[in-house]
Structure 1
Amino acid sequence: MITPFRPDGSLDLDAAQKVAGYLADQGNDALIVNGTTGEAPTTSDAEKDQLVRAVLEAVGDRAQVIAGVGTNDTAHTIELAKAAEAAGAHGLLVVTPYYNKPPQEGLKAHFTAVADATGLPNLLYDIPGRAGVEVRTETLIALADHPRIVAVKDAKGDVAAATKVLANTDLAYYCGADELNLAWLSIGAVGIASVVAHAASPQYRQLIDAVVAQDLVTARELDRQLIPAVEAIMTRTQGAIMVKAALKLLGVIEHAAVRLPLIEATPAQTDALTTDLKTSGLVA
């Protein structure tokens, strides 16, 4: 879920609650707050806490709230995890420590320490393109023994590696790359952690339902229908920038403000976005 800001860059909790309610009403089972799309690198710990509490209040029992707590400092991550648990979050998203490139034994120690710190289930986020290091197959298999490490959000895109993890563990997989949603669901992912779903939740719900019903013809049709939207939001600039522009076009938020070093979508990018969302059938 995005984190709405006012034009002056301040946190807009009212808008966050509106977005959360909208997404819950659109069929999302869970909302990830304070993730990358939520611009977590530029929000303070206090703002992160406020966001979790505001979203919980907005959605009630309509959706689970998963708090992003991952940093490249294990002690800080544990602090955020404990704060999220105290705020009432239902689970934690823990990204691979970024930039400092820890070895696999360091990753195991990091993820284990975070999982030990609270009673909440942990969703590990494997995204080597941002983190600079992958969580290897053998590491995931070892971490699966922890009772609170229950799932993986995969943005690595290695289907063969994930198939091996799925065959050797009870970890639940969520696709973390919208262009691969159907591919991941077809090998046994249980759902998607999606950016584009801000604008296409009903369509992705239908896609998942079609896969569960083994109706791959319908699933493929929906997946292909959404290609222009995925390209518009995820390939032309940073996804958080474009998905805020999309939500503004849809009338869900009033301002598409982002915090530096991100910048708002240009008029040309917004025009192209509008065209592609129309092609995908998401706006009139």
Structure 2
Amino acid sequence: MRHRNAPFGRTLCAMVTPFTSAGTLDLDGAARLAARLVAEGCDGLVLNGTTGESPTTTGAEKRELIAAVRCAVGDAVPLVAGVGTADTRHTIELTLAAEKAGADAALVVTPYYSRPQQAAVEAHFLQVAEASGLPLMLYDIPGRTGTRIAPSTMIRLAAHPRIVAVKDCSYDFLGTQKVLAATDLAYYAGCDEHILPLYAIGAAGCVSTIANAVPDKVAAILAAFDAGDTARAAELQSSVIPLIEAMMASDLPGTVTAKALLNTLNLPAGPVRAPLLPADAEVTADLMAALRQLTRSPTGLR
């Protein structure tokens, strides 16, 4: 392979957190969903991330989810646990809890709302990295946090032995290439429209939201590229664009649209938690139309 080492797998799903109709954690549903995702192409899972509604799940629920998914998928599938908060101390507490619950790595987002300076961003990640034995995947998503991880900061952070990967939602291809050229960090595309573009310049894989519904289709893009069929890889990436647009460009969070699709498909998902609201019937119909178009497409994943 021409790509850098993929420490947590290649095709990761940012898995939703299933809830019961009463709004409680659905551990049986989570186990079934995780097993399906792995069976259909995911070789790693991200739990308790933004798509997993981490802002509205408790510490106990986060631990229980990790333990239930670990039991369902076994030890061979890497589990990356979202632990990022706006508070360094709380982030460290969640990291230690995730390690104890059986996670293989921690996904740590840039502290949000307070908009720390780059020196403070760097200090935050270093404190988390020093607090446990888990390797870290840094989550660079300035559109949500208000602060990005500058390439120069990322390059310095890469010197820490437990800072090994990045979930990249920076929308900065130049900055990403600078970091890839200067470090051994494993980059994962965090935006589904960037799966193939980032992979082509040396990324390790992706952390995909649409993989909740179509894990096989996401995995096939990367498999085609690895096989040397770059034209096929591009064709497959193009084929998922309508679904990406329906799920991620509708002014609704990916959590909402992913759960709408899964519920319609009778797969484990359940309701979203407030302040999120469920997708309405029109949005759900548009989502299903995009999904049907993809599954019926002659390009689509054979």
2:48 corresponding residue in structure 1? 34
Distance, in Å, in 2 between the alignment partners of 1:111 and 1:133 is: 14
Number of paired residues?
282
Distance, in Å, in 1 between the alignment partners of 2:294 and 2:270 is: 21
Distance, in Å, in 1 between the alignment partners of 2:71 and 2:235 is: 36
> Secondary structure at the residue paired with 2:295?
coil
Q: CA deviation at 1:8?
A: 1.9
The partner residue of 1:179 within 193, 196, 210 is 193
Tell me whether 1:244 sits opposite 2:259 in the alignment: yes
Distance, in Å, in 2 between the alignment partners of 1:231 and 1:151 is: 26
* AA in 1 matched with 2:101: A
The partner residue of 1:23 within 29, 37, 40 is 37
- Contact 1:179-1:230 at 8 Å conserved across structures: yes
Q: CA deviation at 1:186?
A: 1.1
2:143 corresponding residue in structure 1? 129
Distance, in Å, in 2 between the alignment partners of 1:122 and 1:61 is: 18
Deviates more, 1:33-42 or 1:209-218: 209-218
The partner residue of 2:57 within 40, 43, 68 is 43
* AA in 2 matched with 1:244: K
- Larger RCO: 1 or 2 (CA < 8 Å, sep 6+): 2
Deviations 1:257-277, CA, capped at 9 Å, x for gaps: 000011111011111111111
Q: CA deviation at 1:249?
A: 2.5
Q: Which runs of 5+ in 2 are unaligned?
A: 1-14, 298-302
Tell me whether 1:75 sits opposite 2:85 in the alignment: no
1:160 corresponding residue in structure 2? 174
Over aligned residue pairs, what C-alpha RMSD do you find?
1.2
Distance, in Å, in 2 between the alignment partners of 1:62 and 1:201 is: 18
The partner residue of 2:227 within 213, 217, 222 is 213
The partner residue of 1:193 within 207, 212, 217 is 207
Distance, in Å, in 1 between the alignment partners of 2:242 and 2:63 is: 35
The TM-score with structure 2 as length reference comes to 0.91
2:78 corresponding residue in structure 1? 64
Q: Which runs of 5+ in 1 are unaligned?
A: none
Deviates more, 1:201-210 or 1:160-169: 201-210
Tell me whether 1:116 sits opposite 2:126 in the alignment: no
**Structure 1 runs of 4+ with >4 Å offset:** none
